[in-house]
A and B are shown apart, each in its own frame.
Chain A
Amino acid sequence: MSVVSAISDTDRIRAILARGPDPEIPAVSVVDLGIVREIAAGTVTITPTYTGCPATIAIEQSIREALDANGFANVAIETTLSPPWSTDWISDKGREDLRAYGIAPPPKGAATASLKNQTAAECPQCGSSNTEELSRFGSTPCKALWRCKACAEPFDRFKCH
């Protein structure tokens, strides 16, 4: 007796994309970053993080390659700007993956309230909140540069957005 066909195409695509890393932050998948908005019959809808993020095109290409390689060449990719991407869409797993990778995740539910990053970041290395912002703009559009005053390590912080 077969029970194989219980997994739908949508779930299969989701599983494939959950393995697709962000080109700038390879520790976190495009699904956990909230870039993949919807997976429906025949279409995957994605949204860019930052307006000028150079990784946007690379992300779309890597999703295309992953779909093609897994027998979903006929699934289209659509891009939507609305509603605008928010760091609130980063999943709990995504936040933990960011921390483990050395990037302080953005506080949840605070995207609109604390746009200016005024709350202290928690050091991803030692967990201390005794930290300071060095530069509001960092190595990529989505990150700011911080330093931990407890363990003296510099680190990236994912900006609230």
Chain B
Amino acid sequence: MDAIATYALRLGDDSLILGQRLSEWCGHAPALEVDLSLANVALDQVGQATHFLTLAGELEGKGRDGDALAFRRDVMDFTNCLLVEQPNGDFAQTIARQLLFSHYQELLFTALMGSKNATIAAIAAKAVKETSYHATLASDWVVRLGDGTDESKARMVAGLDWMWRFADELFVMDEVDAAAIKAGVGVDKASLRAAWETRIDAVLADATLTRPAPRRATTGGRVGRHSEHLGHLLSDMQFLQRAYPGATW
């Protein structure tokens, strides 16, 4: 795959893996409203993934469609960031991941609306409206849990502490980003960081929380170096195509 196809693939993989993770809450969330919310966010992410992976397959030009890319690749071929593959943990840990990711995704999609790739620009313009809901949902819950009981606060602190080390990777740039920027297709992710930090700090302040202690950043997802968690996620998500390769209905 060339750089532009890989760029689309990365966008799609982030959405796909987060969508799959969130769908694990379906039927298990602490309240019906939360169950509906997380399932809807998952659905939006999977919808974005369908568009981005379809585009990646078209740009690659080897006849792979969105389903082929989602269901017939192995762990090291996935290019999602490590944040989205992290286990759900408790509800606070899931919300911590959503806070960090949705604010990033909203800023990213806002910038990508100006992409010279018309399809990426169109997907971003459509998805940013949904992502805004996700960011609001996560922010509201961080405040509710952080500024809640001793128990909810302790869990919110622990959830943020776990997820925080994966935030740096969201803004890391490599040769794929450089090529995409040069072509006018991609955006400078590093330039989104200041706005992201302002948003996160505002939510944390509302939640009577502070930023977790800095940790050495963990990266590698963009080039296929994943945590063990992703393999387990894929074995579930890809079960049908692994058991019955090429099955359609």
Contacts and interface: CB of A to CB of B under 8 A. Distances in A.
Interface of A: 48, 50-54, 80-85, 115-116, 134-139, 141, 145, 159, 161
Contact of B126 (A81, A136, A138): A81
A51 B133 contact: no
A51 B136 CA distance: 18
B36 A137 contact: yes
Interface stretch (B69-77, B114-122, B150-158, B240-248): B114-122
B132 A137 contact: no
A156 to B, nearest CB: 12
A73 B89 CA distance: 51
Centre residue among B43, B51, B127 by max chain A CB count within 10 A: B43
Contacts of A83: 125
Contact of B33 (A48, A84, A134, A161): A134
Centre residue among B37, B39, B40, B118 by max chain A CB count within 10 A: B40
Contacts of A54: 43
Nearest to A116: B136
Contact of A141 (B43, B51, B132): B43
Interface in B9-32: 19, 32
B44 A50 contact: yes
Contacts of B3: none
Contact of B129 (A53, A138, A145, A161): A161
Contacts of A80: 122
Interface residues of B, number: 31
Nearest to A80: B122
B46 interface: yes
Nearest to A142: B40
Nearest to B136: A116
B122 A52 contact: no
Interface in B30-81: 32-33, 36-37, 39-48, 50-51
B179 interface: no
B130 interface: yes
Given A81-B122, A82-B118, A84-B125, A139 B51 contact: no
Contact of A84 (B42, B47, B118, B122): B122
A67 to B, nearest CB: 24
B137 interface: yes
A81 to B, nearest CB: 4
B178 interface: no
A82 B123 CA distance: 8
Given A52-B46, A53-B47, A161-B129, A137 B122 contact: no
A81 B48 CA distance: 12
B36 A138 contact: yes
Contacts of A85: 126
